[in-house]
Amino acid sequence: MHRFVICTLQGVMTNCIKHTGIVEEITATRCKVRILQSSACSSCSVKSHCTTSESKEKIIDAYVLNGETYSIGEEVMVSGQLSTGYKAVFLAFILPLILLVASAMITMPLLKNELLCVVITLLVVAIYYGVLSLFRDRLQKQFCFWIEKI
């Protein structure tokens, strides 16, 4: 948490992800902000005629910087570092894929039983996500967002 606050206060805001959102809930140091996460198709001019366009509302827990005050319903800019986005994609998708493929490649020649290989491979990935959820609080400190007035 402190690393991001220090970086933003020093003006080092290059390589940031920014998204507009609406303040839903306010605490002393954080705000819950609702953003509309949309696929690339959602900004397309023919999206109403297409069945693949998609958008979802997400609630982001963001830090309040510089003692700013916000009100519920206010439109704000949610920011985060691009490198944390890459790290999140790696931990959530790439590393489990590597574990899935590696465990399948290791267990198949050893066991010569496809069903057992699939069960063990899925168990490895399930254990990975279980361990990841055990470290949720620690990871949440690394993956933080902050808000700014528009």
Higher pLDDT, 7 or 98: 98
For 133, how many CA atoms within 13 A lie in the half-sphere containing its CB?
6
Closest CA to 121 of 142, 137, 99, 139: 99
Q: What is the mean pLDDT of residues 114-120?
A: 95
- pLDDT tens-digit readout, 18-57: 889 999 998 877 889 999 876 656 566 655 555 555 667 8
In 16-142, which ranges are E strands? 16-26, 30-38, 55-64, 75-81
Residue 65 has phi, psi (to 5 degrees) of -100, 150
Q: Token pair of 95, please?
A: 């590393």
Q: Are strands 55-64 and 30-38 parallel, antiparallel or unpaired?
A: antiparallel
Distance CA 63, CA 21 (A): 14
- pLDDT tens-digit readout, 46-61: 555 555 556 678 888 8
- pLDDT tens-digit readout, 63-102: 887 778 889 999 999 888 888 888 989 999 999 999 999 9
- pTM, 2 dp: 0.65
Closest CA to 78 of 6, 30, 43: 30
* % residues pLDDT > 70 (the chain): 79
Closest CA to 124 of 96, 94, 87: 96
